[in-house]
Amino acid sequence: MSMIRQVLIYGVILLGGILNIQAQDVTFSQFYAAPLHLNPAFAGVTLGPRISLNYRDQWPSWPNAYRTFAATYEQPMEDLNSGLGVILMADDAGNGIYKTISASGVYSYQLQIQDNLMIKIGVQAGIVQNRLDWDQLIFVDQLDPLNGVDGPDGTPIISDELRPDRLNTTMLDFSTGLLIYGGQFYGGIAIKHLNRPDDRLLAVNDNLSIGLPSRFSVHAGAQIYINRGNNRSAPTFISPNILFEQQAGFGQLNAGAYASYGQVFGGLWYRHTFENPDAVIGLMGVRYGVLKIGYSYDLTLSELSASRPGGTHEISVIINLEDSRQMRRKSSSDLNDCFKMFN
């Protein structure tokens, strides 16, 4: 990577992440493999405990530009019509320059509206910490036209930029969501960062109150069975779905379908922002017993593709004890079939 290109990347991270000018959350392309990240109301929709692991590598041609790691645990509490979950997440921007880690708890409660219609309400509360590695930043006054970041004598050039007094910040963060489902259809809404926590490291303007913008999402889908399967064989189905998200001035729409045939599954989605086409997302994966592994790739369609960023890779690993033999024998309900894509 050229030095000028590196400075530009770091500059975008510095402005967008530190100053928090219209900052935007990470959104997993495999949103169905990170359901609690999408909507806290998803906690406990399975019949048994579930563990989800997610990894996202965005624009890998710019080494370690944006990487996200997430782990969740959730389980239903049938006697209380509730679900509990825990989310751990780490986001690394600019090869360690700007890091965000978070831990949160999730609770959901289920209400039965009709025989085959349910509503779940979810809440999420957590702690988020942002950290800046100032020593990795490269400023314009550190660049020599002939020698890059080193002066004529080979020693590093020292920037005149003032080091901030605070290089990390910790904040409370609250979110909520609503999910309605029954039979073979579902729909939901979620609002992240209800309290608009202040995640700035640098003060842009003492008189300007800037909080982390709330993220609003709407999602819906259906379950179309080709073969329902049984306790010995997995079902075959197609799940068309749509996801809309907006945060500050950023918005995107995902539309596509997920398909499962026996032990293998796949999918195809198109993502469009408010101003331009963004990406085509392809998915393939396999399940075996309680284990489900998926890989997806985002093919960039926007003008950014001219710089060959390398698209986006995602890997998901789900351990769903609902799929164990004991749980399948225990369950006889088809009510939550519309969530097979998420499970």
pLDDT digits (tens, 9 = 90+) for 128-137: 998 888 877 7
The highest-confidence range among 143-152, 157-166, 200-209, 300-309, by mean pLDDT, is 157-166
What is the reported pLDDT for 58?
A: 87
Which residue range(s) make up the domain with 58?
3-339
Give the integer Cα–Cα distance in Å for 70 and 89.
Answer: 4
What is the reported pLDDT for 16?
A: 44
The highest-confidence range among 23-32, 110-119, 307-316, by mean pLDDT, is 110-119
| 328 or 284, greater pLDDT | 284
Give the per-residue SS3 of the chain: CCHHHHHHHHHHHHHHHHCCCCCCCCCCCCHHHCHHHHCHHHCCCCCCCEEEEEEEEECCCCCCCEEEEEEEEEEEEHHHCEEEEEEEEEEEECCCCEEEEEEEEEEEEEEEEECCEEEEEEEEEEEEEEEECHHHCCCHHHCECCCECECCCCCECCCCCCCCCCCEEEEEEEEEEEEEEECCEEEEEEEECCCCCCCCCCCCCCCCCCCCCCEEEEEEEECEEEECCCCCCCCEEEEEEEEEEEECCEEEEEEEEEEEECCEEEEEEEEEECCCEEEEEEEEEEEECCEEEEEEEEEECCHHHHHCCCCEEEEEEEEEHHHCHHHHHHCCCCCCHHHCCCC
What is the reported pLDDT for 34?
A: 95
Question: What's the total number of domains in the chain?
Answer: 1
Q: Which residues pair with 56 in a beta bridge?
A: 68, 314
Q: pLDDT-based confidence at 232, cuts 50/70/90?
A: low
Give the chain's length. Answer: 343
The amino acid occupying position 250 is: F
Task: Give the chain's end-to-end CA distance (angstroms, integer).
Answer: 40
Give mean pLDDT, residues 196-224: 77
Q: pLDDT-based confidence at 339, cuts 50/70/90?
A: confident
What is the reported pLDDT for 199?
A: 73
What would the pLDDT profile of 190-207 be if each residue is shown by its tens digit?
A: 999 999 988 776 655 554
CATH code for the domain in which residue 116 is found: 2.40.160.40
The amino acid occupying position 24 is: Q
pLDDT at 230 over 50: yes
Q: ∠ at Cα 277 (267, 279), nearest 5°? A: 35
Residues 51/321, Cβ–Cβ less than 8 Å: no
What is the reported pLDDT for 160?
A: 74
> Looking at 50-59, 149-158, 181-190, 287-296, which range is the least confident one?
149-158
